[in-house]
Amino acid sequence: MGNLKLGPLPKFGTVRMTIALPEPLKDELERYAAEYSRLYEPVQAAALIPHMLEA
């Protein structure tokens, strides 16, 4: 993965939601989270979802 579209995550209050993802999309999200963690700070894949939706 070269250029990530998300930069450092802002700190906001959160609301918990449950979603279902197809396995290939979950795997891709986890790879993105691993690359994000390498470039910025450790993050769980689920923490990226709201920021991706907003972007």
Q: Specify if 41 maps to a domain.
A: yes
At 52, which amino acid appears? M
DSSP string, 9-42: PPP-----------HHHHHHHHHHHHHHHHHS--
Residue 23, pLDDT score: 97
Task: Read off the pLDDT of residues 1-55 as tens digits, 9 standing for 90 and up.
Answer: 667 887 887 777 877 889 999 999 999 999 999 999 999 999 999 999 988 998 8
The answer to whether residue 31 is domain-embedded is yes
User: Is residue 12 domain-resident?
Assistant: no
> How confident is the model at residue 2, as a pLDDT?
66
Domain with 40 in it: 23-54
> Looking at residue 1, what is its pLDDT?
62
Residue 35 maps to a domain: yes
Residue-level pLDDT at 12: 75
Residue 6 lies in a domain: no
The pLDDT of residue 3 is 79
Q: Cα(36)–Cα(52) distance, rounded to whole angstroms?
A: 12
Structure tokens at 7: 């930069």
DSSP run (H or E) holding 5: none
**The total number of structural domains that make up the chain:** 1
Q: Judge whether 14 lies within some domain.
A: no
